[in-house]
């Protein structure tokens, strides 16, 4: 059955305040008019993707909706310009306007996060992490990171990553009884292995990260501490999660996810490490930055500095807690028992279905998330036991705690239908969700 009564439809301007001209009904058509004529096949696929994003409930923890302003900066004329180097120190002429754009992004990042130094040029989160390795390590050095199957990231030393092939990588995990990181175990491994770099943060950690505790361990063994906050950067910026700045020597993050910017990355660092980080990014790993992305990062950072963004970050957490509670009431086993941030990790073992078939069925039913390994999983990584969910995107659409109960109900119905082979029920749910989401328009897409 349906959840709460569908509320009146709201405009994208009410969800994500932007200037009035960006709320015009023809904004989408204006963006794609030339594309439709030049390449109708691509335009039709983009049209289909926009409709899909609008009509589904998107719970992938690493996804969000950017504002029309961020979208316009990303698609701007700045994509024409090549700019190797840094502001005031370029290898190409014609940087009169590029330099101040990048400097704005840098200054805004420093102010928003309270950092000494910011590099906004990394193309994505993985190269940003690799730049930290390049800045501080030599091949064969020891790095202590979180195991991938416990919630870490590929670039934290997994065997299939360059970081796993080129460095020695002992790993820490979580306690089996609590699902929480045991800092005593981290300290024990660090004393034994003497890493040069310790990484905290990951991709499937539903609880608050103790940055001060990690820093104490790093200081004890003489290691550099890197905090990867790709998932929680928006929560940190909005005051809904403790900040690693002031504890970690270096902080890496993507600029999408909870920060709600374009698909790019940043590195924040103490002043003493600024030069090493900049050299590692350029010329160490890449050439010219993507200036259109840099501009969009600057726009997103300006948006994140507003008071309304603090409300948004707080609502993400409220929604995640409400969704976690509603799932638990329906018999879902949650890793660590719940969440402190935007992310929920559910173990479906007790539901009698694997994470992959459940995720595929949920996609048909209009709910987008991803199958995911859970700690101490007995199933294979490509067919694991868990589901990973996040509330950043639905919060951007204006959904609140009451909507989370409706979503949990649909998830429960869809998982049950998938287990019992009731495919027709999935289509019924998808229809209900298409109707429900009409009240929550997405930025950058026509209603």
Q: Which domains does the chain have, with CATH numbers?
A: 77-304 (3.40.640.10), 308-447 (3.90.1150.10)
Residue 383 has a pLDDT of 94
Instruction: Enumerate the active-site residues.
Output: 82, 84, 228, 254, 257, 263
CA atoms within 13 A on the CB side of 38: 5
| Tokens of residue 58, six digits | 């998107």
Q: Return phi, psi of residue 389, to 5°.
A: -130, 150
Chain Cα centroid distance, residue 7: 28
Q: Are 128 and 280 in contact (CB under 8 A)?
A: no
Global pTM reads 0.93
Residue 16 has a pLDDT of 55
Whether 188 has a pLDDT exceeding 50, the answer reads: yes
In the chain the first and final C-alpha atoms are separated, in Å, by 25
For residue 31, name the pLDDT band (cuts at 50, 70, 90). low
| Tokens of residue 69, six digits | 């302003």
From the list 354, 118, 114, the residue with the least C-alpha distance to 255 is 118
Distance CA 351, CA 391 (A): 22
Q: 201: left (phi > 0), else alpha (psi -120 to 50), else beta?
A: left
Distance CA 239, CA 140 (A): 38
- Measured CA to CA in angstroms, residue 390 lies from 45, 137, 200, 333, 346 at distances of 26, 34, 20, 16, 11
Q: What is the pLDDT of residues 54-69, one digit of tens each?
A: 999 999 999 999 999 9
Residues 118, 121, 123: CA angle, nearest 5 degrees: 130
Q: What is the pLDDT of residues 194-227, one digit of tens each?
A: 999 999 999 999 999 999 999 999 999 999 999 9
User: 3-class DSSP state for residue 241?
Assistant: coil
From the list 20, 261, 284, the residue with the least C-alpha distance to 136 is 284
For residue 445, name the pLDDT band (cuts at 50, 70, 90). confident
From the list 386, 404, 425, the residue with the least C-alpha distance to 330 is 404
Whether 19 has a pLDDT exceeding 80, the answer reads: no
């Amino acid at each position: 059955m349906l959840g709460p009564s569908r509320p009146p439809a709201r405009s994208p301007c009410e969800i994500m305040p932007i200037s009035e001209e960006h709320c015009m009904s023809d904004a989408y058509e204006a963006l794609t008019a030339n594309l439709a004529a030049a390449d109708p096949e691509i335009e039709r696929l983009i049209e289909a993707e926009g409709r899909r994003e609008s009509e589904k409930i998107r719970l992938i923890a690493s996804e969000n909706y950017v504002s029309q302003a961020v979208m316009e900066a990303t698609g701007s004329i700045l994509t024409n310009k090549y700019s190797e180097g840094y502001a005031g120190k370029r290898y190409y002429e014609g940087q009169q306007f590029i330099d101040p754009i990048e400097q704005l992004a840098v200054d805004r990042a420093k102010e928003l996060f309270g950092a000494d130094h910011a590099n906004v040029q990394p193309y994505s989160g993985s190269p940003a992490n690799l730049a930290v390795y390049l800045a501080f390590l030599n091949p064969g050095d020891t790095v202590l990171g979180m195991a991938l199957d416990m919630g870490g990231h590929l670039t934290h030393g997994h065997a299939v990553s360059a970081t796993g092939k080129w460095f020695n990588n002992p790993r820490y995990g979580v306690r089996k009884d609590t699902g929480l990181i045991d800092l005593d175990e981290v300290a024990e491994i660090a004393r034994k292995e003497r890493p040069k770099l310790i990484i905290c943060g990951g991709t499937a950690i539903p609880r608050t990260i103790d940055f001060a505790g990690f820093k104490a361990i790093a200081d004890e063994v003489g290691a550099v501490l890197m905090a990867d906050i790709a998932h929680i950067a928006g929560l940190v910026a909005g005051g809904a999660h403790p900040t690693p700045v002031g504890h970690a020597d270096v902080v890496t993050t993507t600029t999408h996810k909870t920060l709600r910017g374009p698909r790019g990355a940043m590195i924040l660092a103490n002043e003493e490490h600024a030069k090493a980080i900049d050299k590692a990014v350029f010329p160490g790993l890449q050439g010219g930055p993507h200036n259109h992305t840099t501009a969009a990062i600057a726009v997103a950072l300006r948006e994140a500095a507003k008071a309304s963004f603090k409300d948004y970050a707080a609502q993400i957490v409220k929604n995640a807690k409400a969704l976690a509670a509603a799932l638990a009431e329906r018999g879902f086993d949650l890793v660590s028992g719940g969440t402190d941030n935007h992310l929920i990790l559910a173990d479906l073992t007790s539901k009698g279905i694997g994470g992959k078939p459940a995720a595929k069925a949920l996609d048909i039913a209009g709910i987008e998330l991803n199958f995911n390994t859970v700690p101490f999983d007995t199933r294979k990584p490509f067919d694991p036991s868990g589901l990973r969910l996040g509330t950043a995107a639905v919060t951007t659409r204006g959904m609140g705690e009451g909507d989370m109960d409706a979503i949990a109900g649909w998830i429960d119905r869809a998982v049950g239908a998938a287990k019992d082979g009731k495919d027709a029920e999935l289509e019924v749910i998808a229809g209900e969700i298409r109707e429900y989401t009409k009240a929550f328009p997405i930025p950058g897409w026509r209603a």
